[in-house]
Structure 1
Amino acid sequence: METAAKDGAAPWRRHEQVRPPIGALPSVVDVLLVGCGPVGATIANLLARYGVHVLIVDKSTEVSIARRAIELDNDALRILQLAGIGEPDFETSTVPYVRMRTPMLGQVGQISSASRLDGYPKPVTLYQHELERCLRARLEKYDCVHIAPGVELGSFTEEGDHVLASLELDHGRPHIVRARYVVGADGAYSLVRQTIGPHFWGKTFAEKWLVAAARHLSRPADDIEFISDHRRPNRCMAGRSGRERWKFMLRPDERHENIKAEVRIREMVAPSGNPEATMIERKAVYRFRTRTLNAFSRGRVFFAGDAAHIRPPSVGRGLAAGLRDAANLCWKLAWVVQGRADSRILDTYDEERRPPHEKVITKLARFMRKLVTPRNGGIALWAHGLMQLSPPVLPLRAQPEESQIQPKKTTRRGVFVKGRSPTKLVRGAVIGQGRVRGSDGKARPSDEVFGQGLVLIGFGTDARASLDSSEAAAFARAGGSTVQIAHRGERPHLARHDSWEDLDGVFLPRLVPVGWAAVVRPDKTVVHDGPATDASRLVRESLSLLGQHCWVMQ
């Protein structure tokens, strides 16, 4: 894949022309998607895999190669896998450590992040424009997707069972499209959000930061470092090909034009190499914000990514959060559009994605801000000394081998069964992923085996055997399938083609005992679990959440 990082590239070019094939724009679609950045393109790929007819409009005709998002976590990579994008499709670099240093005490915290979780490293660095190009290229294989670059949303109105939108083509020519739903993934300055006008509450941090992309440092970093210096707090993140991204906090009396001078930036990155040899590829001054919509949906309109929430860079992982939005929303839209679920499940998108994750992230961001940007040397020495003496003070010290700066993968309300029935799994949480092996002898990620729909998983047993024919048929109509997970080495003794060996022990016996069963959603969230002998009840109660109340009579 050609990238700006490779030889002969021009890293200072801000855009690269993309010319996807454009036919006549449709007038009727299932979903009108506004915005084709990484979140929008992921949404389009997920919907396309479900067979949903999508029209994507984006006012830009180009993919920006200005370096924006640079980090993803294992959850985000797993969601891209659901969208059909794997590790070989775009380049990433593993980050082995996340460290916090201070000028007075040296290193005061460290996370080992080199291990893999759910089949992926945590975290990785990347170039956003490469991911966007990869996602857009994959969209070309789907007949149900139309991409319209250079087309802007003019206005839209909700009319009963659909939304009527006016699009602005070249030279202001209008095009009217009727869509069952609209998704705004058009960024922090979302036109969709501005048109509807929901409250975008939050805070703008007073501090200004210089962000600089540097190359040819003689001692390039291979990790992420927070340098808590009260004189000039900064952050360094390793990139690919000897690149680094630095963030330096400006002092109140510093002017933008002075701090952005290349000679000044070279001085600030001098501890990492020869200032004269360092190439500054990009520089910008930002004032960071945190914002969250008071509702992630209104009527037939939904918001995802930066259109719904803006996160501070210290802990936000904003792109990863947007990809989680995509995974949660897309299967629900698809199931409603295709008649497999009642439209009421769309209300759970806001319930599952907005609270309480955003509050947790905001509180953590404020805590990290105070820790990384102490007001004076005395406060810095006290806070950092306390970190060294009291490991539980900060997630960076609490669990040296496991990053805690990540939202929990659970929710209190949503499309999962609550109650006091026996449980081994956390309902409303994402089930783990491991490698499984089928009858062909090839190892696959378990998400690939579980498929794009609902799945009834029997652990060490065939849960489908507990369903009668009408129950099995109802589950299939709702997009369900069945899979059996066996202990490693048991597969050869099983006759069923849908049984798979658990090669890594992720499920058996670490997660559940033999004889257990679970219903899992397309986004790999646990809906229900219990003894496999109760599979009939598990299926019935799971289908009731989708509004399939009459399934037993069909």
Structure 2
Amino acid sequence: MARDVIVVGAGPVGLMTAGELRLGGADVVVHERLPAPTHQSRGASFTKRTAECFDQRGLLDRLGGTEPADSHFGGVPIDLGMLAQDHYGHRGVSQFRTERMLEDWVGELGVPVLRGREVTALRQDGDGVVVSVEGPGGPSEERAAYLVGCDGGRSTVRKLAQIGFPGTDGRRGFLTADVTGIDTRKRRIGENLPGGSMVMAMDLEDGVTRVVVHEAGTPPPRDRDALSFTDLADAWQRLTGESLHHGRCRWISCFTDTSRAAAEYRRGRVFLAGDAAHVQPPAMAQGLSVGVQDAVNLGWKLAAVVTGRAPEDLLDTYHAERHPVGEQLARNARAAIELRLTGEEMDPVREVVGELLSHQDAAEYAAGMLSNLGVRYDLAKGDHPLLGRRMPPDRTLTLLDGTRTRVAELLRTGRGLLLTTDRTTAGTARDTGHLDVVTATWTAPPDPALDTVLIRPDGYVAWTSPGTTDDLTDALHRWFGRGHRSSSRPRPQGWA
């Protein structure tokens, strides 16, 4: 039986994509090459915007305790305390912990995650995509209407779809490991050393410390399988005079300062998300974060198309909205690495950047790029400052029955949302599919005024009154289709 969507890769991005698709009513399956979940944790932080994405699906609290993460650009600190909006990210969250949380969630939604299954070939036709899979039962072929590659920086899906991956090759090598049994009272969150070297230690959970070392002049390792913890511990001791050799290494790997963005996020019926679409050095906690936001942007759109609620051209907005974010990420990562790891000759530039970031406007712009709060899509004509931006998820409202709630809680179902203080306006949207209409009053009146706001399932504002010149009916039909195109499928488990 053909599926609506096959997702390749069961990392955070693949699982988030699958969950978003299922919330939208799509029949989705995840294929993962590895036979079992890995305890490796490349990502250990995520941005404020990604925390909001988790929160709007009721997932943030499932992760348990986290630490607030400060911000910097290329090692030059940004004082987030002087900004009106909270830009603090979350750190100390191992990628394994995030993946485990997301796999539990998609399991509750009824999404099968099939492990030990490697996609080796694909072909497209007018009706869908056929993939060849090597699995425990031998080779097989599976068909779906669409395919989403979330299979990492060396993406097989990207290569099979023949999508270009322009950018810069890595010139610097980094060693990273998760270590127990070491004392890091002199914990260094990205300490720069003379000559362009860098060391970092960050506490994860259960006494595990993430350690990263870059020794200036060290090229990217040629064989990551040949790495040993001794290599990292020796480099740490050369740079700091401290020994980590007594530590117990749970996982070791390497990375480079390669920075690339796919030329296309969509080719026909094949999509890319996460590291399959963009890779960069993990110096700014951006990779996992931007990938999760790719998933949240794509999932509801693809579900709307496969369930017949929206025309296929809605899918073109995925590349239009997310590709510029990936290109900016690649550019910023290159700039930040050069600023941080070039030797003392870069000091005058660091001083100038530091002076610029001491000004609130410059700090807000830079923090917005790094927290992803600065992302704005071209969604409608108008002058309201929220148009094209995410609706602040902590904005509170009082419902007609007197209940107080947050915007994030109203987005838990993965449906669109029309919030209005006017019951007449509410009636306009009653025939629109996959949209929750809520009449309420703002706990604190927004400034500027906001009587009605149309919010997409990913949290972004597509229409406001006042402040938008486009017609509300046109906006409803563009993003949510018409009532007669609503899906007749039953809601999946986990829908409110």
List per-residue Cα deviations over 1:404-435 (Å, max 9, x = no partner).
5244543454xx22x3x4x3233222111115
SS at 2:109 equivalent:
coil
Cross-structure match for 1:314: 283
Q: Cα distance 1:547–1:79, how it changes in 2: closer, same or farther (>3 A)?
A: closer
Q: Cα distance 1:270–1:223, how it changes in 2: closer, same or farther (>3 A)?
A: closer
Could you tell me whether the CA contact under 8 Å between 2:220 and 2:255 is conserved in 1? no
SS at 2:431 equivalent:
helix
Between 146-155 and 70-79, the greater mean CA deviation after superposition: 146-155
| Pairing of 1:44-59 with structure 2 (within 5 A) | 44-59=18-33
CA shift for structure 1 position 530: 2.1
Q: Cα distance 1:254–1:319, how it changes in 2: closer, same or farther (>3 A)?
A: closer
Cross-structure match for 2:437: 482
| Pairing of 1:136-285 with structure 2 (within 5 A) | 136-143=103-110, 145-174=111-140, 176-220=141-185, 224-227=189-192, 229-230=194-195, 232-252=197-217, 260-261=230-231, 263-265=233-235, 267=237, 275=244, 278-285=247-254
- The structure with higher relative contact order (CA 8 Å, sep 6+) is 2
Q: Give, as a single letter, the amino acid of the residue that structure 2 aligns with 1:484.
A: T
Aligned residues between the structures? 478
| Pairing of 1:322-471 with structure 2 (within 5 A) | 322-355=291-324, 357-375=325-343, 377=344, 379-387=345-353, 390-392=355-357, 398=363, 404-407=369-372, 409-413=374-378, 416-417=379-380, 419=381, 421=382, 423-434=383-394, 436=396, 438=399, 444-450=405-411, 451-458=413-420, 461-462=421-422, 464-466=423-425, 471=428
SS at 1:261 equivalent:
helix
Q: Cα distance 1:381–1:456, how it changes in 2: closer, same or farther (>3 A)?
A: closer
Cross-structure match for 1:520: 455
Task: List runs of 5+ in structure 1 lacking aligned partners.
Answer: 1-26, 103-107, 488-501
Q: Give, as a single letter, the amino acid of the residue that structure 2 aligns with 1:264.
A: D
Q: Give, as a single letter, the amino acid of the residue that structure 2 aligns with 1:50.
A: G
CA shift for structure 1 position 67: 2.3
Q: Which whole-Å CA distance do the structure 2 matches of 1:84 and 1:312 have between them?
A: 30
Q: Which whole-Å CA distance do the structure 2 matches of 1:96 and 1:307 have between them?
A: 26
Q: Which whole-Å CA distance do the structure 2 matches of 1:221 and 1:83 have between them?
A: 37
SS at 1:294 equivalent:
coil
Task: Give me the identity figure in percent.
Answer: 22
CA shift for structure 1 position 310: 0.7
Could you tell me whether the CA contact under 8 Å between 1:455 and 1:481 is conserved in 2? yes
Alignment equivalent of 1:129, drawn from 89, 96, 101 = 96
TM-score by length of 1: 0.75
List per-residue Cα deviations over 1:197-256 (Å, max 9, x = no partner).
111111122111222334444443678334253252334434334543232223436896
Q: Which whole-Å CA distance do the structure 2 matches of 1:121 and 1:137 have between them?
A: 26
Q: Which whole-Å CA distance do the structure 2 matches of 1:265 and 1:351 have between them?
A: 43
TM-score by length of 2: 0.84
Cross-structure match for 2:465: 530
Q: Cα distance 1:279–1:159, how it changes in 2: closer, same or farther (>3 A)?
A: closer
Between 109-118 and 36-45, the greater mean CA deviation after superposition: 109-118
SS at 2:205 equivalent:
coil
Q: Which whole-Å CA distance do the structure 1 matches of 2:458 and 2:3 have between them?
A: 23
Could you tell me whether the CA contact under 8 Å between 2:153 and 2:279 is conserved in 1? yes
Q: Give, as a single letter, the amino acid of the residue that structure 1 aligns with 2:331.
A: K
Could you tell me whether the CA contact under 8 Å between 2:4 and 2:28 is conserved in 1? yes
SS at 1:346 equivalent:
helix
Q: Which whole-Å CA distance do the structure 1 matches of 2:120 and 2:74 have between them?
A: 49
Q: Which runs of 4+ in 1 moved over 6 A?
A: 99-102, 113-118, 253-259, 393-397, 439-442
Q: Which whole-Å CA distance do the structure 2 matches of 1:472 and 1:96 have between them?
A: 40
CA radius of gyration, larger in: 1
Q: Which whole-Å CA distance do the structure 1 matches of 2:184 and 2:276 have between them?
A: 38
Cross-structure match for 1:74: 48
Between 404-413 and 124-133, the greater mean CA deviation after superposition: 404-413
CA shift for structure 1 position 34: 1.1
Note if 1:35 corresponds to 2:9: yes
Q: Which whole-Å CA distance do the structure 1 matches of 2:446 and 2:482 have between them?
A: 34
Could you tell me whether the CA contact under 8 Å between 2:304 and 2:310 is conserved in 1? yes
Cross-structure match for 2:493: none
SS at 1:33 equivalent:
strand
